[in-house]
Amino acid sequence: MTDDLTVDHLVPAAIALAAGLAGAFLLRMALRWLAGHADRTRWGGDDVIVAALRTVVPWAAVSAGVAGAAAALPLKRAVQHGTNQVLTVLLIFVATVTAARVIAGLVRTVTTSRSGVAGSATIFVNITRILVLAIGFLVMLQTLGISIAPLLTALGVGGLAVALALQDTLANLFAGIHILASKTVQPGDYIQLSSGEDGYVEDINWRQTTVRDLSNNLVVIPNGKLAQSNMTNFMRPEQQLTIMVQAGVSYDSDLEHVERVTTEVVAEVMTEIAGAVPEHEPAVRFHTFGDSRIGFTVILGVGEFSDQYRIKHEFIKRLHRRYREEGIRIPAPARTVALQQGAVVFPQQRAGEDAVPFA
């Protein structure tokens, strides 16, 4: 200190420190009241912003009080400068962490609202958080008087070596960014790869895409493999889709009657079964004169990919029951075997049945 410490110095310092603490308390109470109002809005971004302000604003008030107290005390110039630097670095650190939290939270809110599902594309969130923290770190170094130019040069040279060593990791990173930016796949979509993996996309992060299959198991797919594979997205361009069920009736059937009965069953299933599309127009298309039947295709509408199994199950049960009630016969496949004395017709054996030997 340059002068002796007296009451004239302590009183202003105490007042400045008390004012800072009181300001921090009052600001925190005001922000708590503001957070209650933000909870009642539909947009989630205001909750993120208010929560971040509740962290940084009180610290700023306390730092201002400490700086005022230090200015009121008869400190040496070097001590005064060091105190100001410590308080500045503390504020930059708190502001950086808060900014990273706010921006990452806003990015998460935007990606979630656009995908429309409970899940997040964490690759954008993580990249945003790292960039903000890196910028804050460089600002702190510059505040402390440390030149960041040599550091940036070293990072540039070292980054090239790291990029060569981590080619696969970087390929997965940029593949994930490309997938999300192009909106080819979004969390919540049901996809199927040419290699056989299929399921709902849970998350796309910096290295891999997590897919939950229908048996509730998680399948981890590297982003590079996902970008290079032939893929079917059953949720785009729209979630609803049509499925086809193959059937057949005997040659002595009245096809007009068959079509009318089948159409009634389709309309019944579309109306009564959860996951079906009630506005779907029933469609029956005859297409084949088979060996023992006339084949046709029934087209059903489903709300999403996983609904098709339940709808097929109910449709086949109801169609089989109606055919029995209406006397419509579904013939079993038959095989004609030529013998020396003539021809004998054998029912076609199903897999797993014992063969019937004959000479």
Q: Provide the residue ranges of all domains of the chain, joining segments of one domain with +.
A: 7-146, 184-233, 241-326
| Strand bridging mode 231-233 / 208-212 | unpaired
- What local confidence, expressed as pLDDT, does residue 353 receive? 45
Task: Please measure the distance between the N-terminal and C-terminal CA atoms of the chain and give it in whole angstroms.
Answer: 119
Q: Assign 72 a pLDDT band (cuts: 50, 70, 90).
A: low
pLDDT at 325 exceeding the cut of 80: yes
Q: How far apart are CA 181 and CA 146, in angstroms?
A: 37
pTM: 0.50
Q: Are 319 and 259 spatial neighbours (Cβ–Cβ below 8 Å)?
A: no
pLDDT at 110 exceeding the cut of 50: yes
Q: Are 336 and 283 spatial neighbours (Cβ–Cβ below 8 Å)?
A: no
Instruction: Give the pair of three-digit tokens for residue 51.
Output: 């929560």
Mean pLDDT in residue range 196-204: 85
3-state SS assignment for residue 286 = strand
pLDDT at 48 exceeding the cut of 70: no
Q: Are 201 and 209 spatial neighbours (Cβ–Cβ below 8 Å)?
A: yes
- What local confidence, expressed as pLDDT, does residue 311 receive? 92
- What local confidence, expressed as pLDDT, does residue 108 receive? 72
| CATH code of the domain made up of 241-326 | 3.30.70.100
The average confidence (pLDDT) of the chain is 76
Instruction: Give the pair of three-digit tokens for residue 199.
Output: 């399921």
Burial 105-120 (b: 16+ CB within 10 A, else e): bbbbbebbeebeeebb
| Strand bridging mode 283-289 / 241-249 | unpaired
Instruction: Count CB-CB contacts under 10 A for residue 276.
Output: 23
pLDDT at 259 exceeding the cut of 80: yes
- What local confidence, expressed as pLDDT, does residue 148 receive? 72
3-state SS assignment for residue 87 = helix
pLDDT at 182 exceeding the cut of 60: yes
Q: Assign 250 a pLDDT band (cuts: 50, 70, 90).
A: very high
- What local confidence, expressed as pLDDT, does residue 42 receive? 66
Any idea what DSSP says for residue 333? P
pLDDT at 358 exceeding the cut of 50: no
Class of domain 184-233: mainly beta
Mean pLDDT in residue range 99-114: 71
Q: Are 186 and 173 spatial neighbours (Cβ–Cβ below 8 Å)?
A: no
The percent of residues in the chain predicted with pLDDT above 90, rounded, is 15
- What local confidence, expressed as pLDDT, does residue 352 receive? 44
Q: Assign 226 a pLDDT band (cuts: 50, 70, 90).
A: confident
> What is Dmax (Cα atoms) for the chain?
131
- The candidate with the shortest Cα–Cα distance to 319, out of 273, 277, 278, is 273
> Order of strands across the sheet with 190-193?
218-222, 208-212, 198-204, 190-193, 231-233
pLDDT at 306 exceeding the cut of 60: yes
Q: How far apart are CA 27 and CA 23, in angstroms?
A: 6
Give the side-chain half-sphere CA count within 13 A for 57: 17
**Strand-pair partners of 112:** none
Q: Map tokens 């609904």 to a residue.
A: 307
- The candidate with the shortest Cα–Cα distance to 176, out of 108, 229, 105, 124, is 124
Higher pLDDT, 148 or 111: 148
Q: Assign 292 a pLDDT band (cuts: 50, 70, 90).
A: confident
Q: How far apart are CA 67 and CA 58, in angstroms?
A: 14
- What local confidence, expressed as pLDDT, does residue 18 receive? 81
